[in-house]
Amino acid sequence: MEKKIKPCTENEEILKQRFLALRDTLDLLNGKWRFCILLNLHYYEKLRFKDFFEVSEGISPKVLSSELTTLEAHQLIKKKLEHTPTQDITYYMLTEHAGEIWTVLNTLIEFGLSNRKEVIKSLSD
């Protein structure tokens, strides 16, 4: 490239780190069901395995299982056993760490909402 592309001031190593960080976050939120599970857990506080089939209509047990495993591995959700006289029930809940991702999701939602307004506006032009 004979004619260098003009870079802005930011240091290249930092830029690279930021690329990776963004990649990480998107990988974490991508997929059809992940964020859906997180939003529902935020909304309902705790859910059992079977509950997800009601609140996330269309998800299959295989996919649910693997998504829950992934989210747990990333410490965004956790299992909690509740002991009743007759049986133990496994619930899924958000972790404290998920509080952070909640602010992230809100940012994405706000953008989505304002973007939708934008699109509707530009369609009416």
Partner DNA sequence: CATCTTACTTTCCTGGAGGTTACTAAACAC
Partner DNA sequence: GTGTTTAGTAACCTCCAGGAAAGTAAGATG
Query: Which residues are near its own copies by CB under 8 A?
Result: 1, 5-8, 10, 15, 17-26, 28-30, 35-36, 39, 42-45, 47, 51, 54-55, 74-75, 97, 100-101, 103-105, 107-116, 118, 122
Among positions 15, 20, 89, 108, the unique one binding DNA when judged by CB under 7 A: 89
Select the span of 5-13, 18-26, 83-91, 108-116 touching DNA (CB under 7 A): 83-91
Is-contact 79 92, C-beta < 8 A?
yes
Beta strands in 23-121 (DSSP E): 46-47, 77-83, 88-94
Nearer to its own copies, 6 or 83 (CB): 6
Show the tokens assigned to 112.
Answer: 């989505």
- The verdict on 87 binding DNA (CB under 7 A) reads yes
Where does this chain bind DNA (CB under 7 A)? 30-33, 48-50, 58-63, 65-66, 68-69, 79, 86-87, 89-90
